Chains A and B, each alone.
Chain A
Amino acid sequence: MPDSEVLLRVEHLTKNYETPQGVVEAIGDLTFDVRRGELACIVGPSGAGKTTLLKCIAGLLSPTSGVIELDGVPVTSPPPKMALVFQEYGRSLFPWLTVAANVGLPLKNQGLSRDRRRELVERTLESVGLGGVGGKHPWQLSGGMQQRVAIARAVAYGPEILVMDEPFAAVDAQTRADLEDLVRTLWSRLGVTVLFVTHDIDESVYLGQRVLVLSSAPTFVQEDVAIDLPAERDQLSTRADPRFTELRTHIYSQIQLAKRGNSATTVKEN
């Protein structure tokens, strides 16, 4: 793989937190690349430092050591070509703004005319299945629809890489399936790179071209699994595919290993 195809490079990333009880090692030693146009999932047990990793990638936290590069440029503050979808949509959307204003707000910095902005907002809302709700406030919508607003905001921003932090953890199963398909659709239509973090193994296999399995803290990449399922995915047939079952079983056992690794170190520390 030639280097120019790498969009996001994470190399020997470590992150320690200083607490009154001493130093906590959140991320041990993480190294991985995400290629341009790829849909990569990161899955790991709870407490694996997934959110810490994302905050480092998003330039919201500075790592203790190691390098993060986006398009060859070291990330030291939030990079301009990245859009983030947070897990807590209710805390990330501004409740005092309408849906359309929420989506349009980041565009004010992009030198678009008011009309162009409105048009882009409308089109994006339609593309996530929210045509006609632009005038409502986020809290008037269901959780799943609110997360669609957050996705629309990220997509309208026109990023090269879309980073999603357990975005569907708080919505019900049916809505979740719809949103997963939405992510697949947007990804293939826009050609954007997607880094999707989840604790749900099935979700990671269903969505990803590749699943990075993280160990528990201090985190490293336990395994890098290529998902060789057909590109056309469908909630019924893909999940019924024997290969899907094989992959999820494999990843599940990897995560169990990771958890055991954690309990072993805990015992050692005690």
Chain B
Amino acid sequence: MSRPITARRRALESVAYALAFPAALIALWAGSALITPNRFFPGPARVMEAFVSTWLTDAFVVDVLPSLVRLALGIVLSIVLGISLGAVIGSFWVARSFLEPILEFFRAIPPPVLIPVLMLLLGITDEMKIVVIVSGAIWPVLLNTIEGVRAIDPVMRETAATYHLTRGSRVFSLVLPGAAPQIMAGVRQSLSVALILMVISEMFASSSGLGYRISYFQRNYLIAEMWSGIVLLGLIGIALSLIFQAAERVVLAWYHGLKEIERA
């Protein structure tokens, strides 16, 4: 039995499995749309048609692209701020006891309630929407970073102390990589939060963007178009998750290797 062929077959099989269930769902959807036509729930053919005519046009540049840019900026800012703040708070006992009650307070605030206030402060701008995204998406990264930094093995910290590692080495060769598995778990949660907030920020106060478009279609009874927007959101979610998985494979290569050895 030669290994590469089984590996390739397994890869093909897993792709087939991954596509089989969505295909079955679409078939079910098509069937139910045929049997019991519903004005608010058009069939897949109609939605697909609306998808092409709505999104694969200028709308992609006018509505989708700006949304994606805000989403990307919101995610990057959440990750950078979350990790840097988290590393500081996790490293210093004083910072932790000082800030943790406040963090609990702010974390409990649902970001959408900030939108009217932020509209007043920042206006109906890209900045406002990015702030809304960050205000929700930062928490999983921040809290997981704090936890990850605190959970770093004390023997490793003692190693760093006895070998007088430089400050830079401690941050970039101990604290950040040591907390990376937790940080990545936080980033994964942040991605879905960011996507939700991107849509909500545009539904409230906007005259462009994916969220604005979808609620516009709703208000104007363009049901198939609305559904095509929801499909597009789902596809963006899948794309985010694929990008995340690729990044995780690189960042946590050592971690997966280590786990594999421990399991063997």
| B164 proximity list for chain A (CB < 8 A) | 78, 80, 106, 109
Within 8 A of A (CB), among B11-65: none
Contact A106 B165 (CB under 8 A): yes
Closest Cβ neighbor of B174 among chain A residues = A94
Contact B173 A105 (CB under 8 A): yes
B92 interface hit (Cβ, 8 Å): no
Q: Which of B156, B180, B257 contacts A137 (CB 8 A)?
A: B257
A-B contact pairs, 12 of them (CB 8 A): A58-B162, A84-B162, A92-B156, A94-B156, A95-B254, A96-B177, A96-B255, A105-B165, A108-B165, A137-B254, A139-B257, A139-B261
Q: Which of A59, A77, A86, A108 contacts B169 (CB 8 A)?
A: A108
Q: Which of B162, B166, B168, B174 contacts A78 (CB 8 A)?
A: B162
| A65 proximity list for chain B (CB < 8 A) | none
Question: Given contacts A137-B257, A139-B257, A139-B258, are A96 and B180 in contact (CB under 8 A)?
Answer: yes
Q: How many Å from the CB of B25 to the closest CB on chain A?
A: 40
Contact A140 B257 (CB under 8 A): yes
Q: How many Å from the CB of B207 to the closest CB on chain A?
A: 47
Could you give, for residues 149-186 of chain B, a 1 whenever the CB lies within 8 Å of some chain A CB and a 0 otherwise?
00001011011011111101100011001101000000
| A-B residue pairs, 9 tightest by C-beta | A106-B163, A91-B155, A96-B177, A96-B254, A84-B162, A78-B162, A139-B258, A92-B159, A91-B153
| A212 proximity list for chain B (CB < 8 A) | none
| B153 proximity list for chain A (CB < 8 A) | 91
Contact B163 A105 (CB under 8 A): yes
Main secondary structure, interface of B, reads helix
Question: Given contacts A95-B254, A137-B257, A139-B258, are A60 and B158 in contact (CB under 8 A)?
Answer: yes
Contact A140 B261 (CB under 8 A): yes
| A58 proximity list for chain B (CB < 8 A) | 158, 162
Size bracket of the A interface: 20 to 34
A220 interface hit (Cβ, 8 Å): no
**CA A121 – CA B130 in complex, angstroms?**
47
**CA A95 – CA B257 in complex, angstroms?**
10
**CA A82 – CA B254 in complex, angstroms?**
29
| A55 proximity list for chain B (CB < 8 A) | 158
Q: How many Å from the CB of B205 to the closest CB on chain A?
A: 43
**CA A84 – CA B163 in complex, angstroms?**
8
Closest Cβ neighbor of A98 among chain B residues = B254
| B257 proximity list for chain A (CB < 8 A) | 137, 139-140
Within 8 A of B (CB), among A95-131: 95-97, 101, 105-106, 108-109
**CA A205 – CA B254 in complex, angstroms?**
39
Contact B161 A60 (CB under 8 A): yes
Contact B166 A94 (CB under 8 A): no
| A96 proximity list for chain B (CB < 8 A) | 173, 177-178, 180, 254-255
